[in-house]
Amino acid sequence: MRVAMIGAGYVGLVSGACFAEFGHIVTCIDKDAKKIEALRRREMPIYEPGLADLVAKNVAEQRLSFTTSLAAGVEDAAAVFIAVGTPSRRTDGLADLTYVYQAAREIAGVIRGHAVIVTKSTVPVGTGDEIARIIGDIQPNADLSVVSNPEFLREGAAIADFMAPDRVVIGTDDERAREVMHELYRPLADKQVPILFTQRRGAELIKYAANAFLATKITFINEIADLCEQASADVEEVAHGIGLDHRIGPKFLAAGPGYGGSCFPKDLLALLKAGLDFGVPIRSIETIISINDQRKRAMARRIIAACGGSIRGRTIAVLGLTFKADTDDMRESPAVSIITALQDAGARVRAYDPQGMEQARSVLNAVDYAVDAYTCAEGADALVVMTEWDMFRSLDLVRIRSLLKSPIVVDLRNIYRPEEMAKLGFTYVSVGRPQVGAR
Ligand SMILES: NC(=O)c1ccc[n+]([C@@H]2O[C@H](COP(=O)([O-])OP(=O)(O)OC[C@H]3O[C@@H](n4cnc5c(N)ncnc54)[C@H](O)[C@@H]3O)[C@@H](O)[C@H]2O)c1
């Protein structure tokens, strides 16, 4: 089948490459000409494990191509996906649907015959109706099916998530669209992946509700971690103990500096605001957002306390900048608030991240960037683990200790073991676990 994917970002590029891998003929369209030129040179605009190889393979086998021309890409497509960004609107926190509606207007200008338009972007409930209206206004005779097909992939594991998802959600009550979508996802249906057909509005809500629930789990365990610290318990034991209960499950129970990234913060805010528009204030979401916001500054205070109460004039080494490992995405990373708070308190920040430094330069000011973790630690007054990159788990900690001016480690991802850190002579502060070493 021919597929057009509008937006070649984290979601569009991964989805496009994976649909091509299923055997479909996919055209990825992006209005960012630099991105398209880079992709044509086989240069990936994002860091995502395995993506470069998957793209190269499918381009070589002529199932995947890139263009800036929406008309060329959409022509003859059995399904036209919209995978453009839906950031928070600065003025009111609602989802900014400018890019989605712009894409809809552009599609309206080129479609002929029956067209299946699929929203992959995360959009508020009712957006599908508006897309249908926009296209219908421009082309009153258009024979349209507007489908919601939200994406659940995680950056860093995006290809595996797309190829073996827990479920595929497809919101439509149009029989022709249902057939097209079923055919598109047939390779997954054949592997017994549940393909869940729902009403369009239900599909739109499933995405927001899923993200809100996951963010709630993270926020919950973070508060339990705070309690563990005061009650001399270990949050890792508590998380393991509750996660073994099948009704709860072990995922998203890692205590840390608070959730971030390109999805949770904006999606929770959008859900909250949409709720208000429907006259339904979702108090739990309001609380989760506020707890998470406060947590980031609290992490900065934790670092300052570990350094004896003041960091003015001190150098803090930060390992990891991205909101999680295996991505270069800096959007809404907790590192941004925490580093800014450290700078506000008078510290100099030196940082190292294996993939995130390029993006970090545009969101952080006055940070020195190191070439590796050891150079980052050299002469620093404390070391902070901000992101759980695997390479930080296997550092030579004896060497790190000898490089630091003071042997203070604040581990916001619990990647080291307190007993070992104590043995190595560190003052070690983590999250929801006993502090070791002298304060
Ligand atoms: N990033 C994730 O992990 C993730 C996961 C699930 C869902 N989502 C959702 O998917 C959507 C896309 O997210 P993303 O992270 O891929 O965004 P992104 O910013 O990485 O990519 C969006 C791309 O769309 C392009 N674009 C915008 N308007 C266009 C137009 N009219 N024509 C052609 N191209 C256009 C932009 O140039 C950009 O390259 C969002 O709604 C997001 O919430 C993201």
Cβ(416)–Cβ(409) below 8 Å = yes
Q: Does the CB atom of residue 153 touch ligand 1 within 6 A?
A: yes
Mean pLDDT for the chain overall: 97
The residues, any chain, with a CB within 8 Å of residue 1's CB and separated by 6 or more, are 24, 25, 78, 79, 180, 183, 184
pLDDT tens sequence across 33-58: 999 999 999 999 999 999 999 999 99
Cβ(117)–Cβ(82) below 8 Å = yes
- Give the position, in ligand 1's atom list, of the atom nearest the Cα of 11: 16
Which residue do the tokens 């973790």 mark?
Answer: 373
- Give the position, in ligand 1's atom list, of the atom nearest the Cα of 122: 41
Pull the structure tokens for residue 366.
């006055």
pLDDT tens sequence across 163-190: 999 999 999 999 999 999 999 999 999 9
Q: Is the confidence at residue 125, as pLDDT, over 80? A: yes
Average the pLDDT over 424-429 and give the result.
Answer: 98
Taking each continuous run of H as one helix and of E as one strand, the counts in the chain are: 19, 14
DSSP string spanning 364-390? -SSEEE-SSHHHHHTT-SEEEE-S--H
pLDDT tier at 438, thresholds 50, 70, 90 = low
Cite the active site residues. 263
Average the pLDDT over 223-240 and give the result.
Answer: 97
pLDDT tens sequence across 266-309: 999 999 999 999 999 999 999 999 999 999 999 999 999 999 99
Cβ(221)–Cβ(235) below 8 Å = yes
Q: Does the CB atom of residue 11 touch ligand 1 within 6 A?
A: yes
Which residue do the tokens 């860093």 mark?
Answer: 156
Distance CA 261, CA 321 (A): 11
Distance CA 18, CA 21 (A): 5
Give the number of other CB atoms < 10 A from CB of residue 56: 14
Q: For atom 28 of ligand 1, which residue has the closest CA?
A: 99
Q: Is the confidence at residue 75, as pLDDT, over 90? A: no
In this prediction, residue 350 carries a pLDDT of: 98
Q: Does the CB atom of residue 32 touch ligand 1 within 6 A?
A: yes
pLDDT tier at 439, thresholds 50, 70, 90 = low
Q: Does the CB atom of residue 122 touch ligand 1 within 6 A?
A: yes
Mutate to test the pocket of ligand 1, among 5, 6, 11, 86 (most ligand atoms within 8 A of CB): 11
- Give the position, in ligand 1's atom list, of the atom nearest the Cα of 35: 39
Distance CA 285, CA 205 (A): 14
Average the pLDDT over 373-384 and give the result.
Answer: 98
Helix (H/G/I), strand (E/B), else coil: 325: coil
Ligand 1: centre distance to CA 68 (Å):
15
Cβ(192)–Cβ(149) below 8 Å = no
What's the first-to-final CA gap in the chain, in angstroms? Answer: 63
Cβ(431)–Cβ(256) below 8 Å = yes
Distance CA 358, CA 328 (A): 8
Ligand 1: centre distance to CA 87 (Å):
9
Q: Is the confidence at residue 334, as pLDDT, over 60? A: yes
Question: Which region, left, alpha or beta, applies to residue 383 given φ > 0 means left and ψ of -120 to 50 means alpha?
Answer: beta
Task: Name the pTM for this structure.
Answer: 0.95
CA-wise closest residue to 438 among 215, 425, 64? 425
Distance CA 14, CA 52 (A): 10
CA-wise closest residue to 126 among 107, 152, 100? 100
Cβ(125)–Cβ(94) below 8 Å = no
Distance CA 213, CA 224 (A): 17
Q: Does the CB atom of residue 16 touch ligand 1 within 6 A?
A: no
